[in-house]
Amino acid sequence: MFIHLLAGSLVFFIFGKAFDLEITRTFLVAGAFWGIVPDPISYVLSWAVKFNKWAHTHRDNFSHSVFMPIIVLVLAIILDSKTAIAASIAMLTHPFLDLSGIGWGVKLFYPLSKKTYKMFYNGRILTVWNQEEVDAEAGKFGDDDWVKNIYFKPNIVGASEWLSLAGFLLLVAVH
């Protein structure tokens, strides 16, 4: 979750440096917004906010598809806005981070393919699941207390999440 804020703001930071744009706090926060926006969009599209082991179902729609940032990019080309290209890239970091982060992966090519892609799971580099397999996996290995267990107990994923939040806040604070 927090890693999306850091990734989005970093994309804007690098983009700003590369194109000599003024890197302000608003600019960096805008980057963080584009990094995390697939999540609120997916909650709106699925109309299901679940903090139990079925939390992954929020990703089962267009919001986490690689085609979403492509739409933003097409709009960017029409509107001829440099920042919109950065927004598209920031947005694209989201499904790719969700490939290997918390949960069971993402439907990268929705709606063309409804397969769920998951990286680095059970010793395999890439796992491709259909919906029944994802649901079976979540039913068997899902954690109804994942918010507490990931964010409030010592573990690597939780630590990288809090470090990402700290990194994002620091990046904004120094600008």
Please report whether residue 135 would count as binding Zn ion according to CB under 5 A.
no
Q: Is the peptide bond before 95 cis (omega within 30 degrees of 0)?
A: no
Q: Give the long-range contacts of residues 144-148, CB within 8 A, separation 24 or more.
A: 144/52, 144/53, 146/51, 146/52, 146/53, 146/55, 146/102, 147/51
Q: Which stretch binds Zn ion (CB under 5 A): 13-21, 33-41, 47-55, 158-166?
A: 33-41
Stretch of 9-17, 34-42, 113-121, 151-159 lying at the interface with Zn ion (CB under 5 A): 34-42
Catalogue the E-assigned strands of the chain: 116-121, 124-129
By beta-carbon proximity to Zn ion, the closer residue of 35 and 167 is 35
**What token pair was written down for 149?**
């267990």
Q: Could you say which residues in the range 99-128 bind Zn ion, by CB under 5 A?
A: none
Please say which residue, 39 or 137, places its beta carbon nearer to Zn ion.
39
Out of 6, 31, 39, 86, the only residue in the binding site for Zn ion (CB under 5 A) is 39
**Shortest distance, position 42 Cβ to Zn ion, whole Å:** 7
Q: By the 8 A CB rule, do 162 and 18 touch?
A: no
Query: Quick one: how far is CA 107 from the chain centroid?
Result: 12
User: Is position 161 an interface residue for Zn ion (rule: CB under 5 A)?
Assistant: no
CB 72 → Zn ion: shortest distance, Å? Answer: 16
Between 19 and 67, CB nearer to Zn ion: 67
**How many residues sit close enough to Zn ion to count as binding (CB under 5 A)?**
2
Contact between 98 and Zn ion per CB under 5 A: yes
d(CA 12, CA 91): 11
Helix (H, G, I), strand (E, B) or coil at 23: coil
Give the amino acid at 90: A
Contact 43, 71 (CB under 8 A): no
Q: Which amino acid is at 132?
A: E
Please identify, using beta-carbon distances, which residue of 98 and 137 lies nearer to Zn ion: 98
Contact residues toward Zn ion (CB under 5 A) are 39, 98
